[in-house]
A = this chain, B = another copy of it.
Amino acid sequence: MSFHDLLQADAARVQARLDAALAGLDDVPVVQAMRYAVQGGKRLRAFLVMESARLHGVGPEASVSAAAAVEALHAYSLIHDDMPCMDDDDLRRGLPTVHVKWDEATAVLAGDALQTLAFELLCDPALGAAERRLALVAGLARASGAQGMVLGQALDIAAETAPAPLTLPEITRLQAGKTGALICFSAEAGALMAGADPAPLRAYATAMGLAFQIADDILDVTGDEAATGKRVGKDADAGKATFVSHLGLEGARARASELVQQAENALSPYGDRAAALIEAARFVISRQS
């Protein structure tokens, strides 16, 4: 199967897993908001989990709960990041954000419970031996907490009131936390499930995660809201330092291409079997949303 077919098939599997996890809960607004927030999106992180698992002989039935966990974690971070006290976004995946459709209290709680759900999903016995599932719990916690995703978001908020725009190394560090850490964990997850060495996948995902963010900065300048499903031009309007403000559009595109090449090289130990992951890295810098 091609990358796009796999992406779609994995997305459907993950949606079904998330729907099942959220079925049977009390039908309060918080739970409705959780269901709403786990719809849509590219599901790139889910694909990374399931494809890195396939690469190690772990099939979709076994890996889907880890993919769903990563997407639940990602959805929580989007709900909280969109809140008025954070990035104050009213549009996400082409729809009103949770605090706009419901209210801020519901947004706080739905995000909180989606984070919890992520860790609960990693307890699914289908994921393998307890030791392996625990490695996933520890890995997801490291990637998403105060040394990973939350740190990146904290640095991003601090940058808004910093006396000088961030330097390129500072932006790189910020993004390594904010988006890179979870992308890295997603790609490593398959190796963790199989008890294999995650180093090649980590190198791949580190380069690819940075390329992903550079592409995001480019889309904020060149994209349109109909395609991206979110507001564009926000960074420039806010005078925020980005990869594009530092490198220029062409410089940013060139850097992203180099990173995709690095990502490909990192997968050489896997030979042809890594074709879909390589396609994924190329997709990351060519996407329009």
Contacts and interface: CB of A to CB of B under 8 A. Distances in A.
A154 B120 contact: no
A146 B31 CA distance: 7
Q: Which of A115, A129, A146, A154 has the most CB of B within 10 A?
A: A146
Contacts of A274: none
Interface residues of A, number: 50
Interface of A: 22, 25-26, 28-31, 34, 76, 80, 83, 85-86, 103-106, 108-109, 111-113, 115-117, 119-120, 122-123, 129-131, 133-134, 137-138, 140-142, 144-147, 150-151, 153-155, 157-158
Contacts of A141: 116-117, 119-120, 123
Main secondary structure of the interface of A (DSSP, over half): helix
A150 B112 contact: yes
A151 B31 CA distance: 8
A78 to B, nearest CB: 12
A123 B108 contact: no
Contact of A109 (B103, B133, B153): B153
B158 A29 contact: yes
Contacts of A30: 146, 150-151, 154
A104 B116 contact: no
